[in-house]
Chains A and B, each alone.
Chain A
Amino acid sequence: MLDLRLYMAQRLSALVMGPLVLGHIAVMIYAIQGGLSTAEILGRTQGSLLWFLFYGTFVVAVSVHAAIGLRVIAHEWLRLRGVALVALTWGIFGALLALGLSAVFAVTLP
Chain B
Amino acid sequence: MTRSSEMLHVTVQRGTAQDPRKQRFDVPARENQTVLDVVSWIQQEVDPTLSYRFACRVGMCGSCAMMVNGVPRWTCRTHVSRVAESGQLDIAPLRNLPVIKDLATDMDPFFDKWVAAEGRHHPTRGRLEEFDPIKPDDPNRVEANLGIECINCGICYAACDTVAGNPDYLGPAALQRAWTLLNDSRDADRSGILAAVSGKGGCHNCHSMGSCAQYCPNGLNPMRAIAGLKRETVKAALRWKRDA
Contacts and interface: CB of A to CB of B under 8 A. Distances in A.
A2 B237 contact: no
B204 A75 contact: no
Interface in B193-222: 198-202, 204-205
A3 B139 CA distance: 28
A4 B166 contact: no
A42 B208 CA distance: 44
B204 A7 contact: yes
Contact of B234 (A3, A4, A76): A4
A1 B200 contact: yes
B95 interface: no
A6 interface: yes
B105 interface: no
A3 B205 CA distance: 7
B233 interface: yes
Interface residues of A, number: 12
Given A8-B234, A8-B237, A3 B165 contact: no
Contact of B166 (A7, A8, A11, A75): A75
Interface residues of B, number: 16
16 contacts: A1-B166, A1-B169, A1-B200, A1-B201, A4-B233, A4-B234, A4-B237, A6-B204, A7-B204, A7-B230, A8-B234, A8-B237, A11-B234, A75-B166, A76-B166, A77-B165
Nearest to A6: B204
B199 A3 contact: yes
Interface string A1-38: 11110111001000000000000000000000000000
Closest 6 CB pairs of A and B: A76-B165, A7-B204, A4-B198, A2-B205, A3-B200, A2-B204
A3 B194 CA distance: 12
Nearest to A10: B204
Interface centre among A4, A8, A72, A76 (most CB of B within 10 A): A4
Contacts of A1: 166, 168-169, 200-201, 205
A76 B205 CA distance: 10
B162 interface: yes
A2 B234 CA distance: 14
Interface centre among A2, A6, A8, A72 (most CB of B within 10 A): A2
